[in-house]
A and B are shown apart, each in its own frame.
Chain A
Amino acid sequence: MKFLQKTIEKFDPLFEKGGKYEKLYPLFDGFKTFAFVPEHTAHTGAHIRDGIDLKRTMITVVLALVPALIFGMWNVGYQHYLALGLAGEMSFIDNILFGAVKVLPMVVVSYGVGLAIEFGFCIYKGHQINEGYLVTGMLIPLIMPVDLPLWMLAVSVIFAVIIGKEVFGGTGMNILNPALTARVFAFFAYPTYMSGDKVWINTATKEGQSVVDGFSGATALGDLANAGTTQYSAMDMFMGFIPGSVGETSTLMILIGAFILILTGIGSWKIMFAGVLGALAMGGIFNVFAEYAISPEQQAFMAVPAWQQLILGGFAFGVVFMSTDPVSAAQTERGKWIYGFLVGFFAIMIRVFNPAYPEGIMLAILLMNVFAPLIDHYVVQANIKRRMKRAQVQTANA
């Protein structure tokens, strides 16, 4: 390691002030601090510091996403071969390989394009490279349909990083969750590639292969929104053997990620828990009023047991990984309860009331991102009032 350290240090003068590549210093520094946590010591204030930093925080989230990613790759392959009627013949490895060939390029494009923009901005502003994109770059491919053309993915990433984040000042300053900004951009810019029943499963055929008769590529959620019923069982939905965006299908894998986030304290359990409560509340209300719905399809959709709403579509993924983004969520502890509850509540409401947008969780989180500062504002105002009240109590006692 000493050797590597010395090799890197050799390049220091080139990038330091007055060096040949002075402008590229943020880039150089980014790589250097990636390899080595710098030798910086506490210079003001406390002399001892916690072992955590933003890099470790971000990598923990990425690790929490890995189960969903691997399952997502397998499921892409599984759904593909299922559509071709070949699922029985294919091994676990075959499924994963097929999925990897489809999914890994998405990951590469997402990271490549996003990091390039991020680096460019850092060099332009002379800032240090921030770690925020490490998580965003992994989230984006996981919330996209597998057949989204890579150039659309790239355009979405560009939009998300520039408009969603950098114009506000970079990591820590954004109002909307950048990954969801990418998805919502793709959703409205290229609707035919982002919804319907053609995009969730790769049905490309080679010679001699054909799609089986009666195949439907609709997601369970899409089925329910349109017809009020679905061919998939609750167990399938929980395990994730259903079509959907790459990483969102398996509630089980998402729960493993949630466990990692909650155990390490990096994801807020309050938001997740409140989100589930909110969804159950809305789902429960729908269950009660199902018979008053206008169409039979909607009656059926509203009658879906509230708990099943939790394992449908992107709800679990959104609540665990997207709504807990600390920058765009509510920042006060009490605010997190309100924010989380409303995310869950609105997600189910949008999903059921507006079949055109069955993916309610995306819009619900973005909506609540916008409201999060308002929620915090009222929580803080309540604190200020309570603190001022102590003055009156004191004078009354005196």
Chain B
Amino acid sequence: MSKDLKITKGVNIPIKGKAEQLIGNADNAKVYAIKPTDFPGLFPKLHVREGDEVKAGDPLIYSKDDDRIQWTSPVSGEVIEIQRGDKRKMLAVKILADKEISYRAFPVEDPNSLDREAVVKRLIESGCWPFLRQRPYGTVASPDDTPKSIFISCVNTAPLGADQDFVVHGQAKLFQTGIDAIRKLTDGKVHLTVTGMSTPSEVYAKTKGVEIHKIHGPHPAGNVGYHIHKIDPIVRNGEIVWTLNPQDVIIIGRLFAEGKFDATRIIAFGGPEVKNPRYYRGLLGMQITPLLKDQVENENVRYISGNPLTGSRIDKDGFLGYYDQEFSVLEEGNQPEFFGWIKPGGNKFSISRSVFTWVFPKKELSLDTNMHGEERAFVVTGEYEKVFPFDIFPVQLLKSIMIEDVEQMEKLGIYELVEEDMALCEVVCTSKIPVQETLRQGLDLAKQELG
């Protein structure tokens, strides 16, 4: 049974460099990394030391708050560096990969024949557990919780986002196996949201044991937070929903069907600075370096793991984030612009018609990272609401976060949001308020005070 969701509030940012639907050839990355910074609120502890040899699926780090939750190595090889930042904060565990990956062996089992406890145990020991994230707060799920439902968004509407139909192509069997395992985790439903704007992939349409919903409209139509908001919202403290990405369902499927932690993903590599944007096959935590060869010539660029709205900035030899399915390359907009605030338009995106880009609506823009202005107090009203489809007051919520009024944050709906849901608000903000950072501060505070 499928239900349709339509949104009108939102916008597709017409950025140049969307990946063509081809799998490109590139050398395998030599170095891989697990970055504890990908997980908000995580306090990581080490299972390994520099110089240790690991197999794919061997644990690298675990969480101090719940030592059952562990992260395993995507490749076999040698732990070459534990990278640390200020105050010895752990930034990355880097592994130099063997030429041939050898896998730690797990039993091959049909998840349908297992009980919940066995599935949880397998997911935890293989390192697949952190693929499951919970709402509220967007943190790694806790094995002690039973979510009221699980959501998998099979639509990606973000600019330069990896096409979720393309990346699962031909993997229906593994996907179904993964779903079978995930179904064990909840007493409620598993919701799959697929695109309603074109024919969704067979992989999703033929999946059994799930409820399928179609979604229409511009970004953030593909954001799982919006689907939860419409289908099975989190209203009170204590209600929990889990989410994960379709490609990670396949990794879980592979774990049960083939008995190994093979974290292969299809990654979109795009952006205005990439010569031939396309997809590549790679592993979780891969280094970006092999993809850059002959593709990026400009030196003054920003490398991003993820899409330009929510991704994190990485170095030229940086790594793919744990949940990311894209590498994006944008020019750094670090040039002052003479009377830029009065110039009619140019190469800028805007939802306001005071920037004359709207005269050419079809044009794809080579957007850069310039702020186009300085941070100010909230002045303009009603602009977040144009790109924010939730039945939530975004500005009022942010203000309650700024004054640290936890009770008000709770009432205004902070449980239903994570950073990506408000990313467009940040993009369109006239006052250049750091929306995503503020929201995360609010989430951290709410988690601390309300649990």
Taking CB atoms, residues of chain A closer than 8 Å to B372 are: 37, 49-53
CB atoms of A36 and B336 under 8 A apart: yes
Chain A residues near B361 (CB-CB < 8 A): none
- Asked if B351 contacts A54 (CB within 8 A), the reply is no
Stretch at the interface among A212-220, A242-250, A259-267, A342-350: A259-267
A1 within 8 A of partner (CB) = yes
When the two chains form their complex, are residues B355 and A48 in contact, meaning their CB atoms are under 8 A apart?
A: no
Also in contact, A35 and B352, with CB within 8 A (given A46-B423, A48-B13, A332-B393): no
- In the complex formed, the residue of B with least CB distance to A394 is B235
Contact of A336 among B382, B412, B427 (CB under 8 A): B382
Distance A42 CA – B437 CA, assembled complex (angstroms): 12
Judge whether A383 and B391 touch: CB under 8 Å: yes
Query: Is A84 an interface residue when CB atoms closer than 8 A count as contact?
Result: no
Q: Does A387 contact B (CB under 8 A)?
A: yes
Give A45's nearest chain B residue, CB to CB.
B436
How large, as a class, is the contact surface on chain A? Answer: 35 or more
Interface membership of A177, Cβ < 8 A: no
Is B435 touching A45 in the complex (CB atoms < 8 A)?
Answer: yes
Question: How far, in angstroms, from A40 to B236 measured CA to CA in the complex?
Answer: 40
* A51 and B428 alpha carbons, distance in the complex (Å): 8
Instruction: Write out the residue numbers on chain B whose beta carbons fall within 8 Å of the beta carbon of A329.
Output: 381
Nearest B residue (CB) for A268? B382
Contact of B382 among A35, A263, A333 (CB under 8 A): A333
Which residues of chain B have C-beta atoms less than 8 A from A1's C-beta? 338
B171 at the interface (CB under 8 A from A): no
A296 within 8 A of B: no
Query: Is B430's CB under 8 angstroms from A54's CB?
Result: yes
Q: Closest Cβ of chain A: how far from B159's Cβ, in Å?
A: 7
Q: Return chain A residues, CB-CB under 8 Å to B395.
A: 331
> Considering residues B311, B377, B428, which has the most beta carbons from chain A within 10 angstroms of its beta carbon?
B377
- Beta-carbon contact of A35 and B338 below 8 Å: yes
CB of B377 within 8 A of CB of A49, answer no
Which residues of chain A are within 8 angstroms of B13 by Cβ–Cβ distance? 48
Interface set, chain B 297-338, CB cutoff 8 A to A = 302, 304, 308-311, 313, 328, 330, 332-338
Q: 8 Å CB contacts to B: which residues of A345-398?
A: 376, 380, 383-384, 386-388, 390-391, 394
Q: Mark B356-373, 1 if CB is under 8 A from A, else 0.
A: 010000000001111111
Chain B residues with CB under 8 Å of A264's CB are: 352-354
Binds A, one of B58-66, B257-265, B284-292, B342-350: B342-350
On chain A, the residues within 8 Å of B373 by CB distance are: 37, 49, 52-56
In the complex, identify which listed stretch (A111-119, A165-173, A224-232) lies at the interface while the others stay far away. Answer: A165-173
A37 to B419, CA, bound (A): 27
Structural contact, B352 and A390, CB atoms closer than 8 A: no
A33 to B372 CA separation, bound complex (whole angstroms) = 11
A207 at the interface (CB under 8 A from B): no
Alpha-carbon gap, A4 to B371, bound state (A): 22
Closest CB-CB distance, A315 to chain B, in whole Å? 23
| Contact with A45, one of B346, B411, B437 (Cβ below 8 angstroms) | B437
A293 within 8 A of B: no
Cβ–Cβ < 8 Å partners of A263 in chain B: 353
Chain B residues contacting A36 (CB-CB under 8 Å) are 336-340
The answer to whether B78 has its CB under 8 Å from any CB of chain A is no
* CB-based contact A47/B235 at 8 Å: no
B424 proximity list for chain A (CB < 8 A) = 46
Q: A387-B235, A394-B235 are in contact. List 18 more A-B contacts (CB 8 A).
A: A36-B338, A37-B339, A41-B371, A47-B304, A49-B429, A50-B350, A50-B351, A50-B429, A54-B373, A54-B379, A130-B377, A171-B379, A264-B354, A268-B382, A326-B380, A326-B382, A331-B395, A383-B391
Residues on B close to A: CB < 8 A? 13, 15, 159, 233, 235-236, 302, 304, 308-311, 313, 328, 330, 332-342, 345-346, 348-355, 357, 367-374, 376-383, 385, 391-393, 395-396, 411-413, 419, 423-424, 426-432, 434-437
